A and B are shown apart, each in its own frame.
Chain A
Amino acid sequence: MKNICLLNGSPKGKNGVSLHFLEKLNKSIDSNKYTTNFINAKGSKQEADFKAIENADVLVIAFPLYIFCLPGLLMRYLESYSHYANSKEKSEKKTDVYAIVNCGFPEPEICNGALRVIKNFCQRMNLNWRFGVAIGKGGILAAGKNSFLINKLSSKVYRSIGKIKKDIEKTNGGKMEDYYVAPNFPKWLTNFVINKAWASKAKENGLNRKDLYGKPYYNYTRYNELQQISTFYNKFFVDYKKVG
């Protein structure tokens, strides 16, 4: 029986949309043929979880895109895992690795760098990289995961996640390309909905739209200017005193 490790790399832990994708994948997997094991990078019991990852036949990593690459929390987790694995003898087993990465922006192509990082990780750790699914408009997907309409519009996304399941079932699958998908939702409408959503969320916190543009550290950006003024003032003041 093959065992599959589903690693949730979201810093939001169980509240993130990454877990939702892994659950979708888990549902489609035949539990008579495979055992699945969920791991959360956030608050992980590292030693036990690292052992599970090491012994897995398949590893699926799902995570959100932070500043165009892996979130710091997941990066720390993978760094720790590499220290753990390097301190042990290398096993013969070659784990197949898949990645599911989602971003809030409409263009899934921007996740390309993150997929390359996971690919490099596989190369370093001697794992077998299969392919990744990059998902755009993640915020819309997350907000509408219980809505029939959004799920219908996202069928392309869920089909791509289904490709992972199909590939796991295949043995010795050939080389695969990464998938770049997003819900079938116009770009301008995505931007409009997201911008509206921020304003209404601010309202819940007792702020209005204008408050979101706040610049609490504005004076720091004028540091040089202010310093020049103060040196000028000091000089003038000191000189003036001398004259006086």
Chain B
Amino acid sequence: MKVLFIEDADFKTSASLDLGMQLNKLFAAKGYETKSIEIKKGTLASCVGCFGCWIKTPGECVSNDLMKEIHTNYLSSNKVVYLTPVVFGQYSANIKDVLDRLLVNSLPFIKTTNGRAMHPRRYEKYPDEIMIGYNNDISPDEKETFLDMVAKYRKQVKQVFVNVKQDENKKIIENISKVI
């Protein structure tokens, strides 16, 4: 069993640092092989919307950088934990670059299921995701935007948390330990 942590290296709060450490311990104690990838500004190019991963080299991004490491680790993991700052109610740019470029995991075609258009999956199996948003100051609107967006449009996310203070960490750890 394997877990992948995808973290933003440019902005961390004391609560998120503590949470990251505790999560690492928790997964290791449960027998997971842990892998952590931190994304800094400049280490990962933004998606430019060229659709090369759909129509030039299907299943692989045309730009060969840190994404290859993220992608192979993503596919080989059972769980993926995102630790992302919440900025204006969205993932930070560093984490959003990862999510944008994971587009390679869906197919170009559009299929309407339950009245909503979707791109079918490329592989049969994907890891369950856990999304943790943090910041020192998150407004109620931002929190609501973040939670809504994840719940509605990221079905592979099984648990989502917003973390501002360090004393909330204990509860988050408890909830996560129930599902792993």
Interface hits, B92-124 → A, CB 8 Å:
92-93, 96-97, 99-100, 102-103, 107-112, 116-117, 122-124
B145 at the interface (CB under 8 A from A): yes
Count residues on chain B whose CB falls below 8 Å from chain A CBs: 57
Binds A, one of B23-31, B55-63, B172-180: B55-63
Minimum Cβ distance to chain B for residue A188 (Å): 8
B54 touches A198 (CB 8 A): yes
CB neighbours (8 Å) of A159 from chain B are none
A224 touches B78 (CB 8 A): yes
Binds B, one of A23-31, A50-58, A88-96, A103-111: A103-111
A169 at the interface (CB under 8 A from B): no
Taken together as a complex, chains A and B put the C-alpha atoms of A220 and B102 apart, in Å, by 15
A71 touches B141 (CB 8 A): no
Binds B, one of A150-158, A172-180, A206-214, A233-241: A206-214
CB neighbours (8 Å) of A213 from chain B are 58, 107, 122
A221 touches B90 (CB 8 A): no
CB neighbours (8 Å) of A104 from chain B are 110
A72 at the interface (CB under 8 A from B): yes
Indicate which residue in A12, A117, A224 contacts B90 across the interface (CB closer than 8 Å). A117
Minimum Cβ distance to chain A for residue B154 (Å): 8
B133 at the interface (CB under 8 A from A): no
Indicate which residue in A12, A124, A215 contacts B88 across the interface (CB closer than 8 Å). A124
Are A117 and B117 CB-contacts (below 8 A) given A71-B47, A75-B96, A110-B153?
A: no
Indicate which residue in B49, B91, B103, B123 contacts A10 across the interface (CB closer than 8 Å). B49
Taken together as a complex, chains A and B put the C-alpha atoms of A214 and B148 apart, in Å, by 33
Q: A residues within 8 Å of B by Cβ?
A: 10-12, 16, 64, 66-73, 75-76, 78-79, 104-107, 110, 113, 116-121, 123-124, 187-188, 190-191, 194-195, 198, 201-202, 205, 207, 211-218, 220-221, 223-224
Q: B residues within 8 Å of A by Cβ?
A: 1-2, 41, 46-51, 54-60, 71-72, 75-78, 87-93, 96-97, 99-100, 102-103, 107-112, 116-117, 122-126, 139, 141-142, 145, 148-149, 152-154
The list of the 9 closest CB pairs from A to B, nearest first, reads A223-B76, A76-B93, A214-B58, A72-B97, A68-B153, A220-B75, A72-B96, A73-B46, A75-B93
